[in-house]
Structure formats: structure tokens, C-alpha cells
Structure 1
């Protein structure tokens, strides 16, 4: 493939790599892509991603929206550049960790902190693999942590994505609790108590037996980190898999993605209507079963009263 055959970089990605042409006219000395992105990130950190618009960023900088469009021509490009700046580069600290597992855990912890500093990043859609410099650096760091292991390149990507996905999921939950603390004025402990009390009120042993046992065991008040536990067990599996490869075990192929019906992907209207009907029927069935359980309970109580009175 020649250079002429390569796809043209979208402007947002070209800006991130510093290869996009600068505008020939406009307030050059007072305005720059960097200043625009800085202002947008400050807005998002202070007020959330909903506060970010080309007009709001322009007002913050003291310019007109048209001035911004000379540098960043679309809001989607601005969001990409904001994410790139907020992501930054992984610190060198993870390189001091001993072994691939410790390095991945160090990167995992850094990513969570990143989401807590910039929770608005979690609301941005994932539109594909990272193509910008900083995002690529994080993926490269995770892959580099696995250097020296017998994992294939595909397997290394899979492990890296598991770590990144765990960090993102933990970040989503942690950011949500942090927002609850901010909005309600409650302490983290009080938020946990309130949540546990709500579960205690609506979760019954008859309808949700396993969840009821978890509530009674105090899982919602536990200080244990379920996300770290889950990731550690994933890495246990990776460690065992690597040990097997070292002993001569074959690589395991998982070529098949989760199967989706083409009609599902296409958003077929008839399929959607049928799925809605199934959901409504399942909901009606749950209600009927709940009524049945209550009727059985009432009948048992009446029978018990009758026996005690005879």
C-alpha cells in the first residue's frame, strides 16, 4: 500500500497528532487549538460535559464562536481533543513495578484516578480503537508490560482490554458515588448506608433469594473492593494460562465474537416489536409469580391460624 492509498486522517485525529494545517487568518497570537482545548476541559471539569459547547468555550476565551471554528471545525473534534488532553500519558511509575502483573495493576489504578479527575470522559462514546497519541500510549504501555510472556499479540491485546475495561467500569461506579456525595452532601459512608437501606426495603428472599442473602451479609456496606477482586481473578487466569504455555500447552483460540442476529444489528422494526412484546410478557409473568407467592404465603398463614384456633 502506497501513501496515496492510505486513508486521510480525520481533522480531529490530525489535530491530535499535530499534523493539521493551522488557519491562515484569525487571532493567531491570542488563539490556538491548545487554548481552546484547555478552556473546554476546564469547563467540563467544573460543570460537566453538558456545559461544553463551541459558544460556551468561545465566551470563556473572550472570542466569537466563528473564531473557534477556524481552529476546531466541529464539536466532535473538540470532544476528541479534550479526551486526548485529559487522558495524558501514563506515568513512568508503572515501569518500576516488578513483573507484568504488577505493571498492569499500576496502570489500572492510574486509569481509575484519571476517570475520577475527569468523570465527564466516561460519558463520551467509544467509537473505535484509540488512534490519538496519548490513548495509544496507554495501550502501548499495557502491551509492553506483557513483553517477555509467551502470549501472542492477540492475547496481549485481550489482556490489555480486560484491564482497561475493568478500570473504566470501576471509574463509572466510583464517579457515580462521588457525584452522589457532592449532590446530597452526605458522606460516602452515609451514601452506602442509604443504598443498603433501600435494598433492604425492596429485596425479598422470595423474589430475589441470592440478592437477599448478599444484602443480609452486608455486601453494600463492605469496604472490600469488588472491582479489584474481579481483576485480580482475571489476572490469576492469565497467569495460569501463561504457566500452561510455558509447560507446552497450546494457545487457545477464541475467534468467535458474541453472535448478533443481522436483524438485531440493522434495527429491524418487526424484531424490535417482537422483543418488546417478549419483555412485556416476561414482566407480566414476574408480577403473576409474585402474586402467586403472596397468595401461598397468605394461605399458609390462614391455615396456621386455623390450626391454632382449633
Structure 2
């Protein structure tokens, strides 16, 4: 194994772990990183992440923007600390919810709730493995939930990624619908009916037969939680895998997936050929659409001819 030199902590991560040096002088001693982060979170909760700036936070606290830089030197560091604050910690209830599955389901629900309370967190880009205390606590809780299973440590981490990924996707969709409810003044049932009607007007059985069948079956008006269903079925698969491993059967793991054509993706002629394929596919879709339209018109004409005849 190659020795890796211990990296120097970025300022934001050092602040999150409480190992960064605090300024000894400042405009007033009551200023602190905690107050700055709290004010920034309040702004983001009320107006969105885009409204957060050093100037806006300073104005809320009654200071000049330059005074904040003595404590938080960059906006990226501030956003990291905001995310850490908004994420919080998993509760003891989730840590003691029962078996591995009950604990993971509880962690999923708590993460979704955190996203709904602070939806702007979902706008923060993912930059590698979470490296702050609260995010580490969530990872620890998820891995700990699987400690009594025969899964290896990397398998436990993979299962945790299923849960956190499901929570994030659920949060994205639910937060988006909550925003629609506020903007349109509509309830969730009204939005569902509106979208169902919109889909019915756009999606034809000729062009999208399976999707149209789902629409006609009322799939988009179903009031059950599809995200919870998806997580439950995923955990069913994990349970089956745990049973298989306990019985001595550990299937081979798939490697990381990458871009299939990564080695040639920047080649000019290759990119031109890709564009030609996309254009041809679009032309084919347009031709099929025209064919369906003319077929409908032909049937209408034939029906009128029979009626007149």
C-alpha cells in the first residue's frame, strides 16, 4: 500500500470539526462562526440558497461583509457549514429502532424530513465523500445498523448508499412539489389531477403504449408512496442477499461504471458522428409521428366516407 501524506484540511472542513483557529480580533466579540451560519441558514430557509451571500448575511447580523471574512473566508466554506447545520444528527430513536432494516428505514425517514425542512440543501453539489461531523454521524449510524449482518464493510456502505440515495431523490421530488403548491396555491391532490390531465392530453397510446396504459390505469393518481415502495423492495433484495451470504453464497461484485467511450469522447469526428446519429434518430421519431398523424387522419376520412356513402 502506498503511503499517503495526511492532507491539509480545507478551511471549511476544519471549521466544521472545530479545529480551525478562530480570529483573535474582530469588530465585536459577539460575532462567531455559529452566528454567521445560523443567519445564513435562516436566509436560505426563507428565500433559497441563491439568496445567501456574505453581504446578505452581514446585513442580517448588522455587520459589514468584510467582517465576516475573518471568520468564514469563502462562500463555499459557508455553504458547507450551512449544510452541516441543516443536516443535523440522526436521532437515538433511529439508532435503536430495532433490526438493521428498521434502523435503515428510520434513517431514511429522518433524512427526508431534513430535506423537507431545508430543501436548499438539495442544491448543494456533491463533492466526494461527506467529510463533516454530522455527515459522518449519519454514515456511522447506517453502517452500524448492519453491524450484526454477515455483510462486509464495503457491502454495508453500498447498502447505505441505497438508503441515502433514495432519501435524496425523495427529498428532491417532494420539495419540488411543495414549491409548486406554494407557487400555484394548489394542494397535492389538485397538482396530481392537473398533471394527470396534462399527461392524458400529451401521451398517446400509439406513441407511448406502456405509459398510456399506466395513465389510464390511474397510476399517477395513486396516493401510496412510490418512494417508500421502492426502498422497501430494495431492502427486500438486501435481505435476500444477506440470507444468501449467510448460506455461503457471495456473488461477484460489479466494477464501477464509467463512460463507455471515455477514451474517444473528445475526438472531433467521433462527436460529429454522434450528433449525426442523434439527428437521424430525431428525424425517425418525427417521421413516425407524422405517420401516426396521417394514419389517424386517413381513418377519419374513411369513416366519414362510409357515413356519407
Whole-angstrom CA distance in 1 between matches of 2:273 and 2:115: 38
In the alignment, which residue of structure 2 is the partner of 1:78? 78
In the alignment, which residue of structure 1 is the partner of 2:295? 296
In the alignment, which residue of structure 1 is the partner of 2:277? 278
Q: Does the CA-based 8 Å contact 1:263-1:271 persist in structure 2?
A: no
Cα deviation, 1:149-177, whole Å, max 9, x if unaligned, reads 01111111110001000000000000000
In the alignment, which residue of structure 1 is the partner of 2:107? 107
In the alignment, which residue of structure 1 is the partner of 2:195? 195
Q: CA deviation at 1:267?
A: 5.6
Q: Structure 1 residues 206, 4: closer, same or farther in 2, change over 3 A?
A: closer
Paired residues for 1:1-310 under 5 Å: 5-263=5-263, 272-307=271-306, 309-310=308-309
Q: CA deviation at 1:199?
A: 0.6
Gaps of 5+ in 1: none
Compute the RMSD of aligned alpha carbons: 2.1
The number of residues matched between the two structures is: 309
Q: CA deviation at 1:193?
A: 1.1
Q: CA deviation at 1:4?
A: 9.7
Gaps of 5+ in 2: none
Cα deviation, 1:124-168, whole Å, max 9, x if unaligned, reads 100111010000110111000001101111111110001000000
Whole-angstrom CA distance in 2 between matches of 1:112 and 1:20: 31
Q: Structure 1 residues 165, 31: closer, same or farther in 2, change over 3 A?
A: same
**61-70 vs 294-303, which deviates more?**
294-303
Whole-angstrom CA distance in 2 between matches of 1:214 and 1:226: 14
**166-175 vs 291-300, which deviates more?**
291-300
Whole-angstrom CA distance in 2 between matches of 1:187 and 1:225: 16
Cα deviation, 1:19-46, whole Å, max 9, x if unaligned, reads 0111132135221110100000000000
Cα deviation, 1:86-124, whole Å, max 9, x if unaligned, reads 001001111232210111000000000000000000011
Whole-angstrom CA distance in 2 between matches of 1:176 and 1:140: 29
